Structure formats: C-alpha cells, structure tokens
Amino acid sequence: MRRQARSPRPYATLRARKRPIRPDTSSSSTAASRPRRRSLPGMNVAPADLHYPFAPPEFGEVVAIAPGLLWTRLALPFALDHLNVFILDDGDGWTVVDCGAATAETEAAWRKLLDGPLAGRPVSRLVATHGHTDHVGFAGPLTALLDAPFLSSRSEWTSAVIRRLETVEGLRGPAGRFYESHGCPDALVEGFLAERARSASLIAEMPPAFVRIAEGDVLAFGGRRWRVMIFGGHAQEHCVFWSESDRIMIAGDQILPRITPQIGVNYSEPEADPLTEFLASLRVLGSFDEDVLVLPGHGLPYRGPGIRARQLEAHHASRLAAIATACDGEPTTFDVAIRLFPQAMRKAHARFAVAETLAHLNHLVGTGRLARSRAADGRIRFRPSR
C-alpha cells in the first residue's frame, strides 16, 4: 500500500517566525501575557478573560498539549495568518484534524512534519472540522499522498467540492447580482468576487470519497473516545469533537478565542439565518464546565467555554440592537454596514462585514423585528416591523 510516498522535490524553506507570546500560567490573562492580536478589524470582541495554558508552536513544529495529542500550526495566506492542526497518536499511526489551504507552503510544512515528528508511522485518517478553505484546502493532495481516508460531515464535504469550482466569471452573475441587490457599489463588488474566487482556488481537488461523520457519533482516535456534535452558524455542519474522559474539545472555528467566527450570508442562500443556529450552538457549548480545554482552529487553546460563549452572545446581542436601530429610513445591507462598521468597511474585510451585517438583518427579520422588501430599483431594504 502506498503510504507517505516521498516527493523528489526539495522542501521549501520554512519561514522563521518570532514566537509572539509567553505561556500564560495565571488563572486569568494579564496584559503582558495576552497573545498579540491578529484578529479581523471590526470583528473583535472584548479581550477574553480566558486561561491560555500553552504557547504556540512555530510553523511546522509541534507542541504536546496532552498525552498523545500534538498541536502544530500552518501558515495561511490570509489576514488570519495561521491554522491550528491537531495530531493524535493512535499507537500504530496518527489521526490528523484539519490540514490547511492548498499552497506550496502548506505542502512543504506537511513534508517536514511527515519526515520529522510523525516519521515512522502512517497517518490513519484525516478528519475535517468543516469544509472551509483554510481547513480542507489541502485535503485532496494530503489524503492521496498518505492513502488515508477523509472523515467529514456530509454538507462540509459537498460544500467544499462545490466551492472550489467558483471563479470570478462564474460568480459575476449570481454573486454580482446579490451584492448589487444589497446596495454594494460596483467598484467593491469586483473586489469581492476576486477575493472569493481566490479563496476557492486555494481548495485543491477534494478527496473523491469521504467517511461521513454525523451528530452523536463516537469516534475513537488518539487513545480517546470523541463524541461528535454538529452545529450550524459558521458552516452548515461544523463538527466539534468532545472527549469527556480528558475534558478536551476540538472545536474548529465554532467557538474561537478573541475573534468571532464569521457568521455570514452569501449569494447562494440570501435569506439564510445562520445567526439563529450559531446562538443555539453557544447555548450548548456554553454549558460545558470552565475547566474544559478548548482546541480552536485559530488562536490559542483556552479554558473557559462558558465565559467565551457568553462573550460571543453579548457581542451578537449588541450588534443586533445597533443594527435594529439603524433601520429607520429603509437602508440596504450596505448602508447599514457602512454606517455601523466604517472601519471594517474601509479595510480588506468589507466582504465579511457585508455578509455579517446581512446575517444580523436576516435574524432580525426571522425574529419579527424587521421587515425585508425589494424596492422598485431592485434593492433589498429593511425597515422596522409595524
């Protein structure tokens, strides 16, 4: 069986990076021990009163955070510049959770890991938390290289397969009309399409087949049993893996420290209300004890899922209140975004800010506080319900 076949190509030189923080050994963060902020402008919440017990590994190196549980980081070519990957010791092999975007740097990092800390044993499986570019972009090449199965929820595999086919030309009609109907100027729309197509281009051909993970499944890997919880909001069927015996949760992007997971509405489902699903997930994840170690897709592992869930709930509640009061005068989504989040709209995150604003508007429509209508000019406008 072909496993971990070696490529004759030399490894790319890995970027040397300065370690940004020291480990926080106190029960709450101090200003000096807080990790450097790398968060998306306009999408931050207040600094978290969470406990971060581990300093991050250098890109391509590993840190042990529990027996048989390794943490590495891969570089990402986005504003959010890293992905956390967790690698679990199965005795006779390894289970890998998430794998990075399809870039030469990701490939070089995997070759370094496979020749270094993971050498000598095969990778038994690649598990996806969800199907976004930064988490599964390299899944096809990696599973082919390793001859390993790919485990994913059904919607996340399907959505990545579809997403990677997106191009600027293909998006121009449907996504262009969507942004136009929400009041976005043409000059911005072209940039949005290019950005989305670039993200799609960083998904390599997906694994042609997958092993489905579903709500309530119990998976055995890394010497532990993991109960699967599936949530909407950030993705359609985002997987979170819970080890009750070790009180560890592999959480992907469902409940991140320091930044809010993107809760956005896009052209393919313009009336979606992902915020309702996300808030429901926070009620579940927030009910876990504060000593649970959460392993997120970005940022640092932390303890305090309940604190974090309440911060995120408060963040969205204040956004909802601000957006609801900004809807006198029947604004478009773009009008609301530019009025309330001018800083985010000036930067590279305007597309996310529009998508997030629409998610909040749709939630307010769904809960009866706002009404949505299409005006004679084709623009979709929001007003308080009467």
Give the orientation angle of helix 274-285 with respect to helix 305-325, to 10 degrees: 150
DSSP string, 226-275: EEEEEE-SSSSSEEEEEETTTTEEEEETTT-SSBPPP----TTSTT--HH
**What gap in Å lies between CA 230 and CA 156, rounded to an integer?**
11
Residue 149 CB, shortest distance to Zn ion, in Å, is 22
Establish if 156 lies at the interface with Zn ion (CB under 5 A): no
Establish if 253 lies at the interface with Zn ion (CB under 5 A): yes
Residue 253 CB, shortest distance to Zn ion, in Å, is 4
Residue 298 or 360: the one with the smaller Cβ distance to Zn ion is 298
180-199 residues labelled b (16+ CB within 10 A) or e (exposed)? bbbbbeeeebeebbebbbeb
Q: Which segment (7-15, 205-213, 241-249, 251-259) binds Zn ion by CB under 5 A?
A: 251-259
Closest by CA to 24, choosing from 329, 301, 325, is 301
**What gap in Å lies between CA 64 and CA 50, rounded to an integer?**
20
**Helix (H) or strand (E) run with residue 127 in it:** strand 123-127
Q: Which segment (55-63, 133-141, 146-154, 374-382) binds Zn ion by CB under 5 A?
A: 133-141
Residue 134 or 156: the one with the smaller Cβ distance to Zn ion is 134
Residue 176 or 297: the one with the smaller Cβ distance to Zn ion is 297
Q: Which segment (129-137, 154-162, 183-191, 308-316) binds Zn ion by CB under 5 A?
A: 129-137
**Torsion, CA 105, CA 73, CA 61, CA 244, rounded to 10:** -150
Give the orientation angle of helix 274-285 with respect to helix 350-366, to 10 degrees: 90
Residue 99 or 324: the one with the smaller Cβ distance to Zn ion is 99
> Would residue 71 be called left, alpha or beta, if left means φ above 0 and alpha means ψ between -120 and 50 degrees?
beta
DSSP string, 48-78: P--B---PPPPBT-EEEEETTEEEEEEE-SS
Establish if 98 lies at the interface with Zn ion (CB under 5 A): no
Residue 4 or 39: the one with the smaller Cβ distance to Zn ion is 39
**Helix (H) or strand (E) run with residue 345 in it:** helix 342-346
Residue 252 or 331: the one with the smaller Cβ distance to Zn ion is 252
Question: Which residues are CB-contacts of 44 (< 8 A; sequence separation ≥ 6)?
Answer: 37, 258, 259, 260
Q: Residue holding tokens 């042609």?
A: 208
Q: Which segment (108-116, 203-211, 290-298, 334-342) binds Zn ion by CB under 5 A?
A: 290-298
Establish if 24 lies at the interface with Zn ion (CB under 5 A): no
Q: Which segment (7-15, 117-125, 166-174, 247-255) binds Zn ion by CB under 5 A?
A: 247-255
Q: Which segment (109-117, 137-145, 253-261, 364-372) binds Zn ion by CB under 5 A?
A: 253-261
Total site size for Zn ion, rule CB under 5 A? 3
Residue 144 CB, shortest distance to Zn ion, in Å, is 23
Residue 262 CB, shortest distance to Zn ion, in Å, is 8
Residue 24 or 134: the one with the smaller Cβ distance to Zn ion is 134
Scan residues 293-352 and list those touching Zn ion (CB under 5 A). Answer: 297
**What gap in Å lies between CA 317 and CA 310, rounded to an integer?**
10
Residue 129 CB, shortest distance to Zn ion, in Å, is 8
Establish if 134 lies at the interface with Zn ion (CB under 5 A): yes
Scan residues 26-45 and list those touching Zn ion (CB under 5 A). Answer: none
Residue 231 or 334: the one with the smaller Cβ distance to Zn ion is 231
Residues that bind Zn ion (CB under 5 A): 134, 253, 297
